[in-house]
């Protein structure tokens, strides 16, 4: 028989055996991997809500919005809360200020967190916790720009403004009813 | 060569890292902490031992060997890649922190010269039992080498020794006693080359010394 054909058959057989072996291993490890990955992915969300109490789904946002997490009451279609991933230009050119903002269905803000930024060390993420107290999403009047870190605080303000514009539509009458 | 020699040669005489200088890229990259080195050792151990065994089983069967011989390198790579993928999946599922710390260097075990080197140089022409012993010896020798580098780097760079997870030896008191700071450079890439060079120089000096002594003894006796 042709030598090339035999070599091909050897490799084919080996490939099949290895493929079956890998799919068996994958069958057992894949669910565990998904669970572990979700744990890490939702670690920040878990700071705002007890995730086991809700049905969690994801919507891809457009423009400045990244993933939007939708938390529904278990077993129903009522949206209890939305967690927005939103970014805006701060001081750094290479990395936008990226925030997670959790908004309840009554438009109150459950919490917010800077997830990525490259602002000046010592300011950036810190100023949110120290200077802003946003409790209701459609009231941004107590939101002052901080002197010295104008660009950073403007970025944070822009994040909130974008979310406030969008959340009113999403929660007020659009998605939830 | 008896079984004991076969096992021990991987540690000093034919140490894959310090003598053969094989598989240096992942070794330098993951040795930022002792924990990473231990994880890498476990991965390499599993892959090297099993690949040696499987390849030796295939090649010691005369009928199979004739079929496999023309395409042996692809066969080795498929066997090794399958084992590495299994290691990757299992690590991803059960030790995700380590999986993230080792990153791209887990899949790169496939092209680690040590494993392909042992398959071609030893396992393909030796009995399964000998190949198994060779694999265990070589993997442990490699592990000892990268652990030595990582202990050197982590201690000098951070003043700690992370064994596994939260199990960590804090040795910063030594630095406090000497009133100096840990040398952070050693956990950066440049520190890897420096650490490796220093350890290699030390080992070569000891080896040369040993050789000279042996040579002297031979001349004195002769």
Complex-level ipTM: 0.79
**Residue ranges covered by each domain of chain A:** 1-48, 50-174
Is the CB of A15 less than 8 angstroms away from the CB of B78?
A: yes
Q: Is B66 on the interface with A (CB under 8 A)?
A: no
Residues in B touching A32 (Cβ below 8 Å): 93-94
Angle (CA) B196-B197-B201 rounded to 5° is 115
Per DSSP bridges, beta strands A97-104 and A54-60 are unpaired
Helix (H, G, I), strand (E, B) or coil at A45: helix
Q: Is B129 on the interface with A (CB under 8 A)?
A: no
Determine contact, residues A54/A31, Cβ cutoff 8 Å.
no
Give the predicted TM-score (pTM) of the model. 0.74
Q: How far is A120 from chain B (nearest CA, A)?
A: 22
Q: Is B78 on the interface with A (CB under 8 A)?
A: yes
Share of residues in chain A with pLDDT > 90 (%): 14
What the block records as the tokens of A141 is: 């009047």
Is the CB of A22 less than 8 angstroms away from the CB of B93?
A: no
Give the residue from chain B lying closest to A33, CA to CA: B93
Compute the distance between CA of residue A109 and CA of residue A121 in angstroms, rounded to an integer.
Answer: 26
Which residues 6+ apart lie within 8 Å of A65 measured at CB? A84, A85, A86, A162, A166
DSSP state of A175: S
Determine contact, residues B48/B109, Cβ cutoff 8 Å.
no
Cross-strand bridge partners of residue A70? A57, A82
Is the CB of B79 less than 8 angstroms away from the CB of A15?
A: no
State whether the Cα torsion B152-B153-B158-B161 is positive or negative. negative
Q: Is B73 on the interface with A (CB under 8 A)?
A: no
Radius of gyration for chain A, computed over Cα atoms and rounded to the nearest angstrom: 23
The pLDDT profile of chain B, 222 residues, written as one tens digit per residue, is 788 888 888 888 888 888 888 888 888 888 988 988 998 999 999 999 999 999 999 999 888 888 888 888 999 999 999 999 999 999 999 988 888 888 888 888 888 889 999 999 999 989 999 999 999 999 999 999 999 999 999 999 988 888 887 888 888 888 888 888 888 889 888 999 999 999 999 988 998 998 899 888 888 876
Interface test with B, best of A3, A15, A18 (most B CBs within 10 A): A18
């Amino acid at each position: 028989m042709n030598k090339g054909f035999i070599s091909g058959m050897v490799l084919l057989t080996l490939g099949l055996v290895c493929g079956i072996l890998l799919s068996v291993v994958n069958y057992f490890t894949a669910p565990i991997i998904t669970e572990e990955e979700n744990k890490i992915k939702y670690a920040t969300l878990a700071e705002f809500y007890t995730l086991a109490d809700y049905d969690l789904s994801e919507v891809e946002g457009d423009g400045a919005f990244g993933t939007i997490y939708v938390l529904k009451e278990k077993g129903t279609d009522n949206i209890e809360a939305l967690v927005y991933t939103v970014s805006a230009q701060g001081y750094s050119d290479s990395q936008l200020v990226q925030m997670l903002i959790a908004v309840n269905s009554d438009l109150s803000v459950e919490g917010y967190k800077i997830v990525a930024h490259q602002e000046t060390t010592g300011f950036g993420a810190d100023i949110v916790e120290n200077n802003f107290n946003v409790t209701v999403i459609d009231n941004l009047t107590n939101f002052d720009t901080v002197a010295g870190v104008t660009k950073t605080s403007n970025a944070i303000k822009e994040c909130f403004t974008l979310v406030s514009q969008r959340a009113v539509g999403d929660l007020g009458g659009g998605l939830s009813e | 060569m008896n079984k004991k020699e076969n096992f021990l040669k991987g540690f000093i005489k034919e140490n894959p890292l310090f003598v053969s200088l094989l598989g240096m890229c992942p070794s330098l990259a993951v040795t930022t902490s002792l924990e990473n080195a231990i994880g890498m050792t476990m991965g390499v151990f599993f892959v090297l031992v099993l690949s040696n065994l499987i390849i030796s089983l295939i090649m010691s069967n005369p009928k199979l060997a004739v079929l496999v011989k023309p395409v042996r390198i692809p066969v080795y790579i498929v066997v090794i890649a399958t084992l590495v993928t299994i290691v990757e999946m299992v690590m991803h599922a059960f030790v995700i922190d380590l999986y993230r710390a080792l990153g791209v260097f887990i899949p790169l075990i496939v092209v680690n010269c040590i494993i392909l080197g042992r398959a071609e140089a030893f396992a393909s022409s030796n009995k399964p039992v000998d190949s198994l012993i060779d694999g265990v010896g070589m993997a442990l020798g490699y592990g000892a080498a990268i652990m030595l580098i990582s202990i050197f780097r982590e201690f000098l760079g951070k003043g700690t020794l992370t064994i596994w997870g939260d199990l960590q030896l804090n040795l910063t008191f030594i630095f406090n006693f000497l009133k100096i700071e840990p040398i952070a450079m050693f956990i950066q890439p440049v520190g890897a080359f420096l650490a490796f060079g220093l350890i290699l120089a030390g080992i070569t000096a000891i080896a040369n010394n040993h050789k000279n002594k042996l040579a002297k003894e031979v001349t004195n006796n002769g």
